[in-house]
Chains A and B, each alone.
Chain A
Amino acid sequence: DAGVTQSPTHLIKTRGQQVTLRCSPKSGHDTVSWYQQALGQGPQFIFQYYEEEERQRGNFPDRFSGHQFPNYSSELNVNALLLGDSALYLCASSRDRITEAFFGQGTRLTVV
């Protein structure tokens, strides 16, 4: 079992650009959540997708959007990048209403 896989592992973008991050959930999981982790802080919840719909959303601006595909994989899109968007972006998958969330290794985004 490959677990949760994220791509790319590292990314450098310029302020104002747009970025797309990708996530493949663990086999058998249908719910995908995205988190942002700034250096030295705990992960912050961005949003969660289930059945291709956004089910929950954290306190993030509309520049952050996502998508879930029929095979349960997911994308996180961030528009008009700011320097403050530099962070580790984590994807987590789970079965709906089953407790244990499995996290990927994350994508390190640097905005310059």
Chain B
Amino acid sequence: DAKTTQPNSMESNEEEPVHLPCNHSTISGTDYIHWYRQLPSQGPEYVIHGLTSNVNNRMASLAIAEDRKSSTLILHRATLRDAAVYYCILRDDLVGNKLVFGAGTILRVKS
């Protein structure tokens, strides 16, 4: 299973943008980059995913480096509700739906 590296924790101020980095130097050509987050006392929640191009949805944006060895999850305006553990996951979507979670990044949002 391909590995990802994320900072243990990050802190942000409310209403400001947050950039959560993820390194995945051993990514293969068929690996998609997925982001999930887990709020306290809840199951993980899908955020966004992409293959090569940058992606946007109502929750966040995903910026993928040209060589695909790193990516950044962007929350455009952090709210207190965004405080969670964010997981960056590589998955070969041609093989199956198994998700391999690392330790993730704990995001703290200050008011």
User: Which residues on A are within 8 Å of B, measured CB to CB?
Assistant: 4, 31, 33, 35, 41-45, 48, 55-56, 58, 90, 92, 94, 96-97, 99-106
Contact = CB atoms under 8 A, between A and B. Distances in A.
Going nearest first, the 6 A-B pairs with the smallest beta carbon separation are A103-B43, A42-B101, A100-B46, A43-B101, A103-B44, A90-B43
A42 B3 CA distance: 13
A97 B103 contact: no
A101 B101 contact: no
B19 interface: no
Given A92-B99, A101-B46, A101-B97, 12 more contacts: A4-B43, A33-B98, A41-B103, A42-B104, A45-B98, A48-B98, A92-B43, A101-B36, A102-B46, A103-B45, A104-B43, A106-B43
A56 B100 CA distance: 12
Contacts of A56: 96-98
Nearest to B34: A99
B102 interface: yes
B99 A45 contact: yes
Bin the interface of chain B by size. Answer: 20 to 34
Given A99-B32, A99-B34, A90 B97 contact: no
A105 B32 contact: no
A74 to B, nearest CB: 14
A106 B36 CA distance: 16
B49 interface: yes
B42 interface: yes
B93 interface: yes
Contacts of A31: 97
Contacts of B44: 43, 90, 92, 101, 103
Contacts of A41: 103
Contacts of A94: 97
